[in-house]
Structure 1
Amino acid sequence: MTKRHVRLPPDAEAGLEALVTEVDERLTAARTEGGESTCEVVQDVLVDLHGDREAYERWQSGKSVSAAERVRLQGYDPCNSTLESEYYAEKDEERFERSKHLQWLWRQFDATPMADNIAFALRFREMLANHLFDEVGENVRIFKGVTFSYGHNITIGDNVVVHDDVHLDDRGKLTVGDRVSISDRAHVYSHDHDIVDQTEVRNYHTVIENDARVTYDVMVTAGVRVGENSVAGARSTVTGDIPAHHVAVGQPAKAVRVKPGFEDDVTFEEGSLTDNSEERELDYTLPEGFVSFDEFERPPELSKPTRRHRER
């Protein structure tokens, strides 16, 4: 092993524990009727984390603030924010409302200096993950700059490590098993766009099984299964299922060998990875009366029938 346990000084540890416990309890209470809303909790915590209590109280009391100050102070309220996933037509509106507020707290916490204090930040994010994700195991370590589509379609097992600047797309559904490692700048997707009509989205269930490693700068495409104890090599593009105990590398990734010590456990499946994403596609329905928005405004001659439309 190449890591050691690190402890904060007692006073810092006490302060950390007090804050994490307080925010955890307030977010839990916000799910009950009659108390603070999640939105109110997030706003209040962010005001203090960013050291803006004096200016905020001055603004709330009706005293003069500059236009820039007002925009900054309003920005602590997640109801005054928009996220890219807010535009997704098929999202679960009820679940997204709370997820959006928790995402805003997560992202704005990462913009504070405390986000670089690893001992503090890992504990704070683990607490938030227990409120944001669908399911979370024990001892989850999530580093800085990790982003999600919603958060509430993610399940993560025990002893998982997610490193800096990872994107976990859960527009579909994402399941991460126990003891998984996802390295810096990896992108794991659960949705895709039609090759002809990019406004047509398909959602999938993407799975990373127990003990798998998704290494540096890897892209895992929607609907892929990264098998148990397998490795996706650095900067690979994984477009098919990686068999258990296999190592896959390249663009697109191909299986190149079985991990040393596991040769007797599996038969080596050399070469291209099998795309089984269709069996993991997730159906969805759009709200009644939904009016679509085409941000591209493509000319009609480019909007030819897609494969899905032709099959109907």
Structure 2
Amino acid sequence: MTKRHVSLPSGAEEGLTAFIDEVDERLTAAGPDAAESTCDVVQDVLVDLYGDREAYERWQSGKDVSAAEQVRLQGYDPCNATLEAEYYAEKDEERFERSKHLQWLWRQFDATPMADNIAFALRFREMLAGHLFEETGENLRIFKGVTFSYGHNITMGDNTVVHDDVHLDDRGKLTVGDRVSISDDVHVYSHDHDVVDQTEVLNYHTVIEDDARVTYDAMVTAGVRVGRNSVVGARATVTGDVPAHHIVVGQPAKSVRVKPGFEDEADPVGDRLTDNKADRELGYTLPEDLDRFDEFGRPPELSTAADRHRES
């Protein structure tokens, strides 16, 4: 056992518990037909977290504020911000609207000094994950600087931990099991791009099974399944399925051994991990009235190269 229990002084514990419970209740009750929208709750919470209530009320009452103050005060409202995922054409617009507001609260909370108070921040993020993710288990621990594409396509199991500065791409779908450990700076993807036309996006279901460990700065590519009780070594790039109980390292990752004690349970593997992502591709339909554009400003004959490639 490598951890010990810690606790805050009773006064501090009471205050943070009351705050988390209050935000949780407000987010649960928020909605289009409720007294408060999710956007309203997020804005109000951020104003207080940043200690800007006096300036905010001065601005709301029509008194003069500087241009910089106005930008700062407007920024507490997630409706006045854009996230990268907002530009993704295939997203579920209705689900993303709420997810965006919750992501904004998550990201701005992480920029406050309180985000470094582990006892407080882990519980606050666990509460937010319960509203943002598709499904969450018990005792979910998420550390500072973790980012998502949407958030609402993520499922996480019990007693899972995600460490600092991890990116969880759920442009497709991401399922993480029980007792999984994802180390600092890991990137887990669920979307890829066509090799001919990089603006063409392919979405997948990426899975990290129970008791797996993805270690420092590794990358799990879209559509991969990281098997039960396996280990992905530091800075590995996983481009195929990791068999249960295996330890994989390298770029691209290969199995180098089976975890001691699991030799009889582990399946043998060849020189390369098997790529099964085609079985996990997720289709999507774009709106017929979508105003498409090529972000690289290429002429139409180049931006449709992927379609011609697939037809051939």
TM bucket normalised to smaller: over 0.9
Deviation digits for residues 29-52 of structure 1, max 9, x if unmatched? Answer: 003723100000000000000010
Match of 2:15? 15
Corresponding letter in the other structure for 2:36? E
* Preserved contact between residue 258 and residue 268 of structure 1 (Cα < 8 Å): no
User: C-alpha separation between the residues in 1 aligned to 2:155 and 2:294?
Assistant: 32
Are the equivalent residues in 1 in contact too, given 2:243–2:267 (CA < 8 A)? no
Question: How far apart in 1 are the matches of 2:201 and 2:52?
Answer: 41
Superposed CA offset, 1:218-266 (max 9, x none): 0000000000000110000000000000000000000111111100112
Native 8 Å contact 1:208 1:227 kept in 2: yes
Taking the TM superposition and a 5 Å limit, the aligned residue runs for 1:271-310 are: 271-299=271-299, 302-303=302-303, 305-306=305-306, 309-310=309-310
Q: Is this contact kept in 2: 1:179–1:211, CA < 8 A?
A: yes
Residue 63 of structure 2 aligns with an amino acid whose one-letter code is K
User: Separation in 2 of the partners of 1:56 and 1:34?
Assistant: 23
Deviation at 1:82, TM superposition (A): 0.1
Relative to 1, partners in 2 of residues 1:308 and 1:170: Cα closer, same or farther, differing over 3 Å? farther
Distance of 1:298 and 1:274 partners within structure 2: 36
* Cα distance in 2 between the residues matched to 1:304 and 1:120: 50
The answer on 1:159 being equivalent to 2:159 is yes
- 2:290 & 2:307 partners in 1: Cα distance? 23
Contact 1:110 1:144 (8 Å CA) reproduced: yes
Partner amino acid, structure 2, of 1:232: V
Contact 2:139 2:159 in 1 (8 A): yes
Q: Distance in 2 between matches of 1:301 and 1:126?
A: 47
Partner of 1:88: 88
Aligned counterpart, 1:72: 72
- The structure-2 alpha-carbon separation of the partners of 1:307 and 1:235, relative to structure 1 and needing over 3 Å to count, comes to farther
Asked if structure 2 preserves the Cα contact closer than 8 Å seen for 1:99 and 1:151, the reply is yes
* Residue number in structure 1 paired with 2:119: 119
Q: Which residue of 1 aligns with 2:48?
A: 48
The residue type paired with residue 267 of structure 2 is T
* Deviation for aligned residue 1:298: 2.6
SS of corresponding position for 1:205 = strand
Shift of 1:100: 0.2
Partner of residue 59, structure 2: 59
Aligned to 1:175: 175
Residue identity matched to 1:12: A
TM-fit CA distance, 1:139: 0.1
SS at match of 1:228: coil
Q: Which runs of 5+ in 1 are unaligned?
A: none
Q: CA deviation at 1:302?
A: 4.9
Aligned length: 312
Structure 2 counterpart of 1:139, one-letter code = N
SS in 2 for 1:151: coil
Residue 30 of structure 2 corresponds to 30
Distance 1:106 1:247 in 2: 33
Question: Are the aligned partners of 1:256 and 1:270 in contact in 2 as well (CA < 8 Å)?
Answer: no
Structure 1 position 267, deviation (Å): 2.9
Is there any run of 5+ residues in structure 2 with no aligned partner, and where?
none
The amino acid that maps onto 1:244 is: A
1:150 is aligned to 2:142: no
Query: Which runs of structure 1 show a deviation greater than 6 angstroms over 4 or more consecutive aligned residues?
Result: none
Range moving further from structure 2, 41-50 or 302-311: 302-311
Q: Deviations over 1:81-113 (max 9, x none)?
A: 000000000000000000000000000000000
Change (3 A) 1:246 1:291: same
Contact 2:230/2:243, CA 8 A, preserved across alignment:
yes
In the alignment, which residue of structure 1 is the partner of 2:196?
196
Q: Does 1:249 align with 2:249?
A: yes
Residue 310 of structure 1 deviates from its aligned partner by 2.7
Which residue identity does 1:40 align to in structure 2?
Answer: D
Query: Does structure 2 retain, via aligned residues, the 8 Å contact 1:246–1:268?
Result: no
Structure 2 CA distance, aligned partners of 1:107 and 1:128?
A: 11
TM-score by length of 2: 0.97
Partner of 2:238: 238
Give the structure 2 partner of residue 106 of structure 1: 106
Contact 1:140 1:159 in 2 (8 A): yes
Give the partner amino acid of 1:180.
V
How far apart are 1:306 and its partner, in Å?
3.1
Q: 1:301 to 1:92 in 2, by over 3 A?
A: closer
Give the RMSD, CA atoms, in angstroms: 1.4
